[in-house]
């Protein structure tokens, strides 16, 4: 199933690009626009990964709702990065308003909770990785006061890399032995 492989690559790429964008911003004293651009690439890859998951987890109503919520959330995250890039170009500073970031990650958080269980038959125990990503998002969004924001985001990013690897490593289902149409 080529879509599983594409989704796995997109999920791994999303986590890796977001990790590089966030880590680069923390470690290097270079223009923040570079890291915002890499982050935008990560969120676009995340959108492709969630879009690809819709075929894999769309079997239940809860899974379909979760995928839709996560897609809307990723859209808000992409808008946030565009907002940051525009403000960096306009003023040279990161904006103070992070409402798009908050709304986007809250929607992704709830969406992952809703679709995670539907991944069990596809990736086995790796279905828990979206729950791990949710734990990272909770840390990032609600424990910033104690310095866990960046660690939480790294957990989120690592969980998506892991989910991508699980999608790539899981054996493909055997083709069904149905009689051809018209036989």
150-161 tens-digit pLDDT: 899 999 999 999
The angle, 0 to 180 degrees and rounded to 10, between the axes of the packed helices 99-115 and 129-142 is 150
Question: pLDDT per residue over 7-34, tens digit each?
Answer: 999 999 999 999 998 888 888 866 677 7
pTM of the full predicted structure? 0.85
Long-range (24+ apart) CB contacts under 8 A made by 34-39 are 36/81, 36/84, 36/85, 36/88, 37/85, 39/81
What's the Rg (C-alpha) of the chain?
Answer: 18
């Amino acid at each position: 199933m080529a879509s599983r492989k594409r989704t796995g690559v997109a999920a791994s790429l999303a986590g890796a690009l977001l990790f590089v964008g966030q880590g680069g911003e923390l470690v290097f004293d270079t223009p923040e626009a570079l890291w915002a651009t890499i982050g935008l690439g990560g969120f676009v890859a995340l959108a492709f990964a969630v879009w690809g998951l819709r075929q894999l987890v769309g079997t239940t109503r809860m899974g379909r709702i979760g995928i839709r919520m996560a897609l809307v959330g990723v859209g808000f995250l992409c808008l946030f990065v565009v907002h940051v890039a525009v403000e960096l170009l306009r003023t040279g500073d990161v904006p103070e308003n992070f409402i798009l970031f908050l709304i986007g990650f809250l929607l992704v958080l709830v969406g992952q909770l809703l679709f995670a269980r539907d991944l069990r038959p596809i990736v086995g125990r790796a279905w828990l990785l979206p729950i791990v990503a949710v734990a990272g998002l909770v840390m990032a969004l609600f424990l910033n006061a104690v310095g866990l924001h960046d660690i939480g985001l790294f957990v989120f990013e690592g969980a998506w890399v892991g989910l991508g690897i699980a999608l790539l490593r899981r054996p493909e289902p055997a083709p069904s032995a149905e009689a051809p149409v018209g036989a």
